[in-house]
Structure 1
Amino acid sequence: MSKKIIAIASAGGHWIQLLRIAPAFENNEVVFVSTEPSFASSVKNFDYYLIPDASRWDKIGLLKSFYSVFKMILKLKPEIIITTGAAPGLMAIIVGRIIGCKTIWIDSIANVDKISMSGKIALRFANIVYTQWPELVKGKIVYHGNVIS
């Protein structure tokens, strides 16, 4: 049965990793979300939402981004939210959990020695948190391989 999925990631490696797992979304209604307008061309057969980017050093930007993510999720009413990070994905995980979505966080492959700061926060909200390094498996953190190898 088809599920409504929001796949969200910020620009750079987070977006690349999200695209690498896109085949897993086959036969589902997927909406891609990111912070870069040009990314719409890499997901031409899907709906694409642009949200403002922000970082922990830009508090006003974080509020604007959170509002945008919150509004989008309430409008789309997904069943599943999946993200490879960072800030926009974390916001989506928090909002999704509040409204009852299944939420999945995949920590970046760049985090070799420890879970990312956003990943640590996601542990409190996400239904499942994946690492791409078997050495980081602990508690709620699961390993099932690498997105990029």
Structure 2
Amino acid sequence: MIYTAQYDSPLGTMLLASDGTALTALDFDDTSDCIRGMQKDLPVFEETFRWLDLYFSGKVPDCMPQLAPKGTAFQHAVWDILRTIPYGKTTTYGRIAAQLAETRGGRMSAQAVGGAVGRNPISILIPCHRVIGADGSLTGYAGGMERKDFLLRLEGSYS
């Protein structure tokens, strides 16, 4: 069973999904790929609301709800790296590709990393917005470039 909730952020309504225990998706309502399920109050939603409240107030959240994004092994490897990018810092697709190549062996393409970053189902908590172009420019963000700019400015990592 999929359970859902809504969160009103400064950037618009966000939809949350859970398997009943962990957060499985978080996306903006106007960009969501149809997060649907039964609305229900769950501890994981309350934990996520608390995290988002802290984050949008400009504070570094001190808690992380349990996350269970669905994806391939490669996507999970990329998302695990995204979770290590500190608040207020950015990285590039190329740096993530180099990290993966180092740990997995062989070569890794920045384009493949970009594909996995773009399929991140848990926006903001898995901070795909912290990935920028090699030249320091803002690059694609499923939630929209204005939102990416807002999030990076909120964190003080982009001017």
Give TM-score scaled by structure 1 length.
0.31
Give TM-score scaled by structure 2 length.
0.29
Structure (1/2) with the larger strand percentage: 1
Structure (1/2) with the larger helix percentage: 1
Q: Which has the larger radius of gyration?
A: 2
